[in-house]
Structure 1
Amino acid sequence: MTTLPSAAPRVSPWVLSAFWFGTAFHWLLLLLILMPANVVRFVGEEQKGTYLGTLTAVGAVMALVLPPIIGARSDRTGRRLPYIRLGLGVNLAGLAVMAFAATALAGLGGFWVYVLGFLLVQFGNNYATAPYSALIPQLVPPEQRGRYSGVMGLLQAVGQLLGAVTAFVVGLLKLPVLVSFALIALVLFVPALVTLRGVPEGTGPPAQTPARPALPWRQLFAHQPFLWVFVTRVLFALGQYSVQPFLQYYNVDVLRQRDPATSTSIMLVCIIVGSIASALVGGRISDRVGRKPVIYVAGGAMAAAALLLLVAPSYPAALALAVFFGLGFGAFTSVDWALGSDAMPSASSYARDMGIWHVAFVAPQLSSAPQGALLDWGNAQGGNLGYTLVFGIAALFFLLGVVLVRNVPEVVRRRAHAT
């Protein structure tokens, strides 16, 4: 396995993570605020969960297939930035199509134009993701990856916070939906330029030792660190996507909030404030004690919060639980990239393997379709049974992730301390 020396990385963690900041803003405002509201206006209340879950799942199919393919191509060419540039352009074009459809809102006909725009967004964003994901293992020594992953987690949380605040302000001022799409495009584009200009093409790790040959696709999951990091990331993502797409509906149906977009934005702010508090600290701690202890605490906190939301007596209590969930989520994201980077089997296939690792996060979006259908079915039985089922399943996924991360070989931890 390739190891990197203890030399200072050539790129600032803030520059390297800037693109992830814009991406976090992009997905929070799009997936959690705009899409749920737009889908209700397209299809009505009775089928909102089914259509939203299906739309999310359709986008996830592209996110499943594209990153490993583009990552492998990036590895063969030895280039990263051209793929990020092209993906960014397609992403922005897709946002324009979605904005047009949401503004026209011509019934189901407009909905399918909206779906087309969303597919373009998914294509562009995932086209850029695998080459971008390769930059941390390529540029950063193992003993500094926790710090870099912490900065990435912090900027992700700040981007999400800005997205939630933006949604609140847009809702408060009753601004047109076009304004939200324009802001998403702007906040995605500008930080992407920071990363594209700050990471020189061809930049590689300092004095890297010769890389082992890339493992064939079929043998990749025989590499134990990669296998278990992939499995546990799938479980944590399943927990997240069991709840996240339906928070706006939860605010209406369970918490009885009259302005669901605003109340959801406030809840998201609480989650993100908690995650900011733990993101940078968690990454630094993981460089000293290993990745797994941080995951144990983070997963336990998220599971507890998901269960307690089912019995939250009021909206303020739910907001307190949102902060608690955020503390766990921030700690998890602070070590997520470091854990994945540590598990890569060869420097010869960083982009391909990080693209496959990224699939562990996006593939669980496919669960949104059955979870949305389960939500609608359960709620039709009465007593908000749908939310009990969906949130309970989320807690189970988080707990399974905590249990199974113990199987990640300790070699990952030792590499984190390597000098």
Structure 2
Amino acid sequence: MASRLANRPSSSSTSDSQATELARIIRQAALAEGFDAVRIVAPDAIESAAGHLASFIADGRHATMDWMADTAERRSDPRVLWPDVRSIIMLAMNYGPEHDPLVNLQFPDRAAISVYAQNRDYHDVIKGKLKTVAQKFASRAGADVKVFVDTAPVMEKPLAEQAGLGWQGKHTNLVSREFGSWLFLGSIFTTAALIPDAPENDHCGSCRACLDICPTNAFPAPYQLDARRCISYLTIEHKETIPEAFRKAIGNRIYGCDDCLAVCPWNKFAETAREAKLQARDDLKAPTIADLLSLDDGTFRQHFAGSPIKRIGRDRFIRNVLIAAGNSGLAELSAHCGPLLADPSPLVRAMAVWATAELDDAETLRHKAGRHIESEADPVVRAEWARALERRTLQETI
């Protein structure tokens, strides 16, 4: 998202002393608004990013995220996005958790939600603060500014690396020596000419913890990500049924995945004290799968008001929770999956079939199939029933 916050002509040149003073002003304003780090980068600093992005898209690793291909030109060069930009101010906010998020994976009756989504929607938190900082800066600099947070076609991580906020680690996320892998990013584009900060060097060394822990092998090589295999993509961006090859690997991760972030050794240097605005909601730290399966559209919207989870909608969310239920090994959860076999959403019904097949014995599964298959009109759901019954027959013959 972008916002134009000033419309006044900027001076044609800026002295070093003026640029230094403007940098001081922006840093002071950013820290006052709760940002933990702020750096400056030139808009032409990520020229090599265009080639990396083109290769990523050509290989199909962006999966169904067609918007990445549609905005590739603007994304790879900030000057295409806004020709008047002369400097980019990159800001970062620490959202490091107070607990190890991987602990939740040990409790099959509980659901694991990515750390960033346990708080208020970070777009709302950061956008308001960015606007405040940008307005203060614009009034002092006499320059135009625009603010961007995540959803705009801005390559925030390469820009943050060149600005010196951190480096893109082998998991492709930004890593900071002060805050580890837990940083929200935002940017302020301006027509003011500022002195760029030095870029950060790569400090990953021989470590490959983030690559080795990935449950779905989503990293074909260090510093490369295949979104088609990434649990964060599959549970958030992917709109259809979860490919069967990845369902078991998802475990109880119902929204995003923190594994590659959580194992980063640099996290030990991250500050654990955070402002209240980023504190996790207690009901989202480790919610029960049974409770989540009972959410209809209305209760889903109410429960996740103000949360980024609301954006994926109830049906995709329940799809994810059903995967977690099927992976739980807890037969008692079958009673919570049963009503969803007749859910209005074919997406939900399809994953309810898979979860039921994972939890029920053969006789119970066949009984439920007999009740539902004849009236099932959706071909995807019917195919799930067929595969479930075929797997169960095969298991009985072994």
> Which band: TM-score by shorter chain?
under 0.3
- Bigger radius of gyration among the two: 2
TM-score by length of 1: 0.25
Q: Which has the higher strand share?
A: 2
Q: Which has the higher helix share?
A: 1
TM-score by length of 2: 0.26
